[in-house]
């Protein structure tokens, strides 16, 4: 590995810098027909890097995951559903009803072969960036939040609130705000709410209640 060099608040080796450039080049080819999606993906990558630096998460993994998180958005909705079925993806519901959630899981299953150098935690973060999970690692939370608040996103009250909390609350609390804000957005738009989201919500509520109880005991 080469000597480390400063890069936007994070230190990367020359090899890491080269690898990130490779990912961005590959993504540019993958999303060549979708410039807005490409711009979003690169913005998520930069936002994830900034969040990682602020919250003590590996910025290289965050930027790599952010870069690749929407890889399968190059496919049409029909193609995503077909590929998900081919891969045996199971959401417990008709995959047609959860089209917007499929691309992360699909990417997490097909990209490890292409990028074997990246560790499993990158693929897990990509897999749960649309659904969240009861057990979220710091990297998972960074990618989830970055996807929701990157600067190219149109401002909404929920997004603005989450942005305003960066660096002021814990990463767990920042993720919670982003997750709940996403649910509110879906409900206000009368969109389909994936049933699994309710399970994740209830699981997170239980975790937060337990954490609060322990904090009071040790106060």
Q: How confident is the model at residue 210 (pLDDT cuts 50, 70, 90)?
A: very high
The residue among 71, 47, 173, 206 whose CA lies nearest residue 130 is 71
Domain CATH code at residue 118:
1.10.3210.10
- Could you tell me what percent of the chain has a pLDDT over 90? 89
pTM: 0.93
Condensed to tens digits (0 to 9), the pLDDT of residues 117-128 reads: 999 999 999 999
Report whether pLDDT(199) > 80: yes
How many domains, the chain? Answer: 1
Provide the CA 120 distance to its chain's centre, in angstroms. Answer: 14
Calculate the dihedral angle through the C-alpha atoms of 12, 42, 158, 195, rounding to the nearest 10 degrees. Answer: -100
The residue among 178, 138, 187 whose CA lies nearest residue 160 is 178
Calculate the dihedral angle through the C-alpha atoms of 94, 120, 61, 102, rounding to the nearest 10 degrees. Answer: -10
Beta carbons within 8 Å of 78's beta carbon, 6+ residues apart = none
Identify the domain containing residue 63 by its residue range.
Answer: 4-218
Q: How confident is the model at residue 10 (pLDDT cuts 50, 70, 90)?
A: low
């Amino acid at each position: 590995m080469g000597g480390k060099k400063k890069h936007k608040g994070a230190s990367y080796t020359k090899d890491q810098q080269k690898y990130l450039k490779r990912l961005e080049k590959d993504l540019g080819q993958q999303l060549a027909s979708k410039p807005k999606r490409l711009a979003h993906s690169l913005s998520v990558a930069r936002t994830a890097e900034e969040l990682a630096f602020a919250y003590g998460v590996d910025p290289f993994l965050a930027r790599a995951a952010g870069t690749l998180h929407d890889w399968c958005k190059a496919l049409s909705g029909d193609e995503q559903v077909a590929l998900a079925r081919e891969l045996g993806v199971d959401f417990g519901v008709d995959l047609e009803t959860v089209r917007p959630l499929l691309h992360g899981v699909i990417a997490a299953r097909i990209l490890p072969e292409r990028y074997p150098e990246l560790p499993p935690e990158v693929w897990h973060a990509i897999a749960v960036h649309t659904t969240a999970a009861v057990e979220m690692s710091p990297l998972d939370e960074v990618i989830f939040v970055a996807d929701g608040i990157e600067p190219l996103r149109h401002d909404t009250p929920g997004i603005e609130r989450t942005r305003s909390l960066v660096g002021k609350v814990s990463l767990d609390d920042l993720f919670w705000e982003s997750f709940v804000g996403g649910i509110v957005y879906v409900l206000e738009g009368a969109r389909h709410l994936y049933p699994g989201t309710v399970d994740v919500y209830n699981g997170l509520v239980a975790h937060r209640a337990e954490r609060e109880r322990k904090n009071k005991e040790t106060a």
